Amino acid sequence: MSKHLLETHIRIQPLPPRSHTFLFPTQLQTLQSRKSFTTKKSSFCLSLCNNKKNSFFFSHVSVVRSSVTRGVNEVEEDKQPVVKKAYPFLEIEPKWQRYWEENRTFRTPDEIDTSKPKFYVLDMFPYPSGAGLHVGHPLGYTATDILARFKRMRGYNVLHPMGWDAFGLPAEQYAIQTGTHPNITTFRNINRFRSQLKSLGFSYDWDREFSTIEPEYYKWTQWIFLQLLKRGLAYQAEVPVNWCPALGTVLANEEVIDGVSERGGHPVIRKPMRQWMLKITAYADRLLEDLDDLDWPESVKDMQRNWIGRSEGAEMEFYVLDSDGQERNLKITVFTTRPDTIFGATYLVVAPEHTLLPSLVSMAQSKYVKEYIDLASRKSDLERTELQKEKTGVFSGCYARNPANGEAIPIWVADYVLGSYGTGAIMAVPAHDTRDYEFALKYDIPIRWVVTPEDKSLTDSRSAFPGQGLIINSSNSMLGLDINGLSSKEAASKVIEWADKTGNGKKKVNYKLRDWLFARQRYWGEPIPVIFLDETGETIPLPETELPLTLPELDDFTPTGTGEPPLSKAVSWVKTMDPSSGKPATRETSTMPQWAGSCWYYLRFMDPSNSKELVDKEKERYWSPVDVYVGGAEHAVLHLLYSRFWHKVLYDIGVVSTKEPFQCVINQGIILGEVQYMAFRDSDGNFISADSADMLGEANQERIPEEKVVKSGDSFVLKDNPKIRLVARAHKMSKSRGNVVNPDDVVSEYGADSLRLYEMFMGPLRDSKTWNTSGIEGVHRFLGRTWRLIAGSPSPDGTFRDGTVAIDEEPTLEQLRSLHKCIAKVTDEIEGTRFNTGISAMMEFINAAYKWDKHPRSIFEAFVLLLSPYAPHMAEELWLRLGHSTSLAYEPFPKADPAYLKDSTIVLPVQINGKTRGTIQVEEACTEEEAFKLASKDEKLSKYLAGKSIKKRIYVPGKILNVILDRENIKVGAR
Mean pLDDT by 10 residues, the chain (975 residues): 34 35 34 36 34 33 31 42 72 97 96 96 92 87 98 98 92 85 93 96 98 97 98 92 81 75 84 91 96 95 93 95 91 96 97 93 95 84 70 94 96 90 92 94 95 76 87 94 96 96 94 90 94 95 96 85 85 94 95 94 97 97 98 88 98 98 94 84 81 60 85 86 85 74 91 96 91 89 96 86 91 92 97 96 96 95 98 98 96 94 83 92 86 89 88 91 78 40
**Pair 373, 498 in one domain:** yes
Closest C-alpha among 141, 143, 144, 153 to residue 117: 153
Q: Is the dihedral of CA 323, 324, 326, 328 positive or negative?
A: negative
Which CATH number belongs to the domain containing residue 926 in this structure? 3.10.20.590
Residues 209, 347, single domain; the answer is no
What 3-state class would DSSP assign to 307?
A: helix
pLDDT at site 460: 64
Predicted confidence at residue 53, as pLDDT, reads: 33
| Buried/exposed 45-55: b ≥16 CB within 10 Å, e otherwise | ebeeeeeeeeb
C-alpha of 730 from chain center: 20
pLDDT the model gives residue 135: 84
Strand partners, 919: 909
**Burial of residue 593, with CB atoms counted within 10 A of its CB: 0-12 exposed, 13-18 middle, 19 or more buried:** buried
Asked whether residue 834 is domain-assigned, the answer is yes
DSSP 625: S
Q: Do 889 and 766 reside in the same domain of the chain?
A: yes
**Number of Cα atoms under 13 Å in the Cβ half of residue 428:** 31
CB 421 within 8 A of CB 427: no
- Residue 556 CA to residue 52 CA, distance in Å, equals 14
Question: Is the Cβ–Cβ distance between 591 and 519 less than 8 Å?
Answer: yes
- If residue 326 lies in a helix (H) or strand (E), which one and from where to where? none
Residue 89 Cα distances to 39, 85, 232, angstroms: 20, 8, 58
**Whose CA is closest to 655, among 685, 609, 621, 684?**
621
In sign, the C-alpha dihedral spanning 96, 99, 104, 105 is negative
Strand 425-428, strand 347-350: pairing? antiparallel
Environment class of 214 (CB within 10 Å of its CB; exposed 0-12, middle 13-18, buried 19+):
middle
The answer to the question of residue 877 being in a domain is: yes
Residues 276 and 322 in one domain: no
CA 27 centroid distance within chain = 37
pLDDT, tens digit, 9 for 90 and up, residues 71-111: 444 444 444 444 457 899 999 999 999 999 999 999 999 99
Under DSSP, is residue 576 helix (H, G, I), strand (E, B) or coil?
strand
CA angle 247, 249, 255 (to 5 degrees): 80
Estimate to the nearest angstrom the gap between the alpha carbon of 553 and the chain centroid: 33
Residue at a domain's end among 557, 592, 627: 592
332 and 347 in a single domain? The answer is yes
Residue 859, domain CATH: 1.10.730.10
DSSP category for residue 431: G
The Cα 55–Cα 49 span in angstroms is 9
Q: Report the pLDDT value the prediction gives residue 50, as an integer from 0 to 100.
A: 33
Domain that holds residue 468: 310-511
- Helix axis angle for 773-791 and 872-881, nearest 10°, is 10
Please report, for the domain that includes residue 653, its CATH number. Answer: 3.40.50.620
Query: DSSP 3-state assignment of 304?
Result: helix
Structure confidence at residue 458 (pLDDT): 61
Bridge partner residues of 527 (DSSP): 591
pLDDT of residue 14: 37
Specify the pLDDT at position 48: 33
Q: What is the dihedral of CA 689, 695, 699, 705, to 10 degrees?
A: 30
Neighbours of 558 (CB within 10 A): 15
Quote the radius of gyration of the chain (alpha carbons, Å). 36
Using omega within 30 degrees of 0 as the cis cutoff, is the peptide bond preceding 109 cis?
A: no
Contact, 888 vs 868, CB < 8 A?
yes
Distance of CA 658 to the CA centre of its chain: 23
383 and 507 together in one domain: yes
pLDDT of residue 44: 35
What are the φ and ψ backbone dihedral angles of 319, each rounded to 5 degrees? -80, 135
Same domain, 537 and 648: no
In DSSP notation, 731-793 reads -B--TTTT----HHHHHHHH-HHHHHHHHHHSS-TTS-EE--HHHHHHHHHHHHHHHHHHH-P
CATH number, position 388: 3.90.740.10
Q: Do the beta carbons of residue 871 and residue 758 sit within 8 Å?
A: no
Specify the DSSP class assigned to residue 664: B
**Within-domain flag for 974:** no
Q: 79: exposed, middle or buried (C-beta count within 10 Å: 0-12, 13-18, 19+)?
A: exposed
141 alpha carbon, distance to own chain's centre: 10
| 759 and 852 inside one domain | yes
- The answer on 662 and 527 residing in a single domain is no
Q: Estimate to the nearest angstrom the gap between the alpha carbon of 275 and the chain centroid.
A: 29
What is the domain count for the chain?
6
Alpha-carbon distance of 126 to 137, in angstroms, equals 9
Give the residue from 557, 577, 592 where a domain finishes.
592
Residue type, 341: T
299 assigned to some structural domain: no
The dihedral sign for the CA sequence 184, 186, 190, 196: positive
Nearest CA to 860 out of 888, 902, 835 is that of 888
292 lies in some domain: no
Same domain for 356 and 485, yes or no, is yes
Q: What is the pLDDT of residues 768-786, one digit of tens each?
A: 888 888 889 999 999 999 9
Contact 486, 503 (CB under 8 A): no
Helix (H, G, I), strand (E, B) or coil at 824: helix
Name 903's Cβ contacts closer than 8 Å, sequence gap at least 6.
Answer: none
Answer for the pair 610, 220: CB distance below 8 angstroms, yes or no: no
Residue 626 lies in a domain: yes
What does the pLDDT read at residue 28? 35
Domain limit, last residue, from 467, 496, 511? 511
The CB-based long-range contact list for 640-645 (8 Å cut-off, 24+ gap) reads 640/300, 640/304, 640/665, 641/280, 641/287, 641/304, 641/307, 641/308, 642/280, 642/516, 642/595, 642/599, 643/598, 643/599, 643/600, 643/602, 644/287, 644/290, 645/278, 645/280, 645/283, 645/287, 645/516, 645/599
- 806 plus 923 within the same structural domain: no
| Strand-pair partners of 709 | 718
Task: Determine, yes or no, domain membership for 570.
Answer: yes
**How many angstroms separate the CA atoms of 560 and 521, rounded?**
10
The reply to whether 3 falls in a domain is no
- What dihedral do alpha carbons 174, 178, 183, 187 form, nearest 10°? -80
For residues 287 and 516, is the Cβ–Cβ distance under 8 A?
A: no
Sign for the CA dihedral angle at 233, 236, 241, 244 comes to positive
Cα separation, 222 vs 530, in Å, equals 10
User: What is the residue type of 244?
Assistant: C
Let me know whether 336 and 411 are in one domain: yes
